[in-house]
Amino acid sequence: EAGVAQSPRYKIIEKRQSVAFWCNPISGHATLYWYQQILGQGPKLLIQFQNNGVVDDSQLPKDRFSAERLKGVDSTLKIQPAKLEDSAVYLCASSSDRGRNGYTFGSGTRLTVV
Amino acid sequence: DQQVKQNSPSLSVQEGRISILNCDYTNSMFDYFLWYKKYPAEGPTFLISISSIKDKNEDGRFTVFLNKSAKHLSLHIVPSQPGDSAVYFCAAEGGGGSQGNLIFGKGTKLSVKP
């Protein structure tokens, strides 16, 4: 089966600019996650969708981050305005069973804010 | 405050020997634990998991042991192969967060020498 697709792979922006990331999960996977992985850290959950509804966004910095999953398939994550500390790899993952048999992660988008 | 800790940033092992990666956790509500493997420029890949009602789960060369009283788990790889060289993340679920919300450790970089 095709994996989780993410784009772009790399992005460099200046602070205070905006940026958007796109994710296409595995077909049929109802649950979609966005994780942020800062260099030297483990991934941290930003937001979890079940179909097109938000299950958990408690760690999403809502003053600058937003995410949507229209029609319960593709998802976009936006940062506006970006800060230097947002430099990280943004990972999208999907699962069919809320994660107990493991997610499938995409390759991520590496964001550098300068 | 880190709820999942991997105290060894790196581990080097000779090919054919055993690799033991350790993970400690602080939240006694965690009821499911997973190990992920990550190669450079790729997303993490699910490796093996264990429920808190078990103390051991085995899958081929990979075995995870859970010691609930010590809040400690370990991943054993026997025999180790050069292709096992990667960063290994321990993750936990169920600590009061939503199902599917994984708390990751910082990772241990395993190097298997031929």
Give the whole-angstrom CA distance, residue A20 versus residue A90.
Answer: 11
Predicted local distance difference test score (pLDDT) of residue A96: 83
DSSP B102: P
Q: Is B4 on the interface with A (CB under 8 A)?
A: yes
Predicted local distance difference test score (pLDDT) of residue A99: 58
Residue in B70, B80, B78, B73 with CA at minimum distance from that of residue B13: B80
Give the tens place of pLDDT for each residue, A88-107: 999 999 988 765 677 899 99
DSSP letter string, A67-101: EE-GGGS-EEEEESS--GGG-EEEEEEEESSTTTT
Predicted local distance difference test score (pLDDT) of residue B2: 84
User: In angstroms, what separates the C-alpha of B44 from chain A's closest C-alpha?
Assistant: 6
Give the whole-angstrom CA distance, residue B111 versus residue B86.
Answer: 7
Q: Is B49 on the interface with A (CB under 8 A)?
A: yes
pLDDT at residue B99 is higher than 80: no
Interface of A with B in 36-75 (CB under 8 A): 40-45, 48, 55-56, 58
Give the whole-angstrom CA distance, residue B99 versus residue A11.
Answer: 31
Angle (CA) A90 A60 A86, round 5°: 45
Predicted local distance difference test score (pLDDT) of residue A98: 61
Kindly list the residues from chain B whose CB atom is less than 8 angstroms away from the CB atom of residue A90: none
Q: Which of A4, A58, A99 is nearest residue B102 as measured by Cβ atoms? A: A99
Give the whole-angstrom CA distance, residue A14 versus residue B63.
Answer: 45
Mean pLDDT of chain B: 94
Q: Which of B42, B100, B104 is nearest residue A98 as measured by Cβ atoms? A: B100
Give the whole-angstrom CA distance, residue B57 versus residue B54.
Answer: 8
Give the whole-angstrom CA distance, residue A73 versus residue B17.
Answer: 44
How much of chain B is in helix, strand and coil states, percent to nearest 5?
Answer: 5, 55, 45
Beta bridge partners of A101: none
Mean pLDDT of B42-62: 95
pLDDT at residue B97 is higher than 90: no
Q: Which residue in B has a C-alpha nearest to residue A106's C-alpha?
A: B43
What is the rounded (10 degree) CA torsion for A48, A100, B106, A64?
Answer: 0
Query: B85 φ, ψ to 5°?
Result: -60, 115
Q: Do A99 and B36 touch (CB under 8 A)?
A: no
* Sites in chain A below the pLDDT cut of 50: none
Q: Is B99 on the interface with A (CB under 8 A)?
A: yes
Q: Kindly indicate the confidence band of residue B100, based on its pLDDT and cuts at 50, 70 and 90.
A: confident
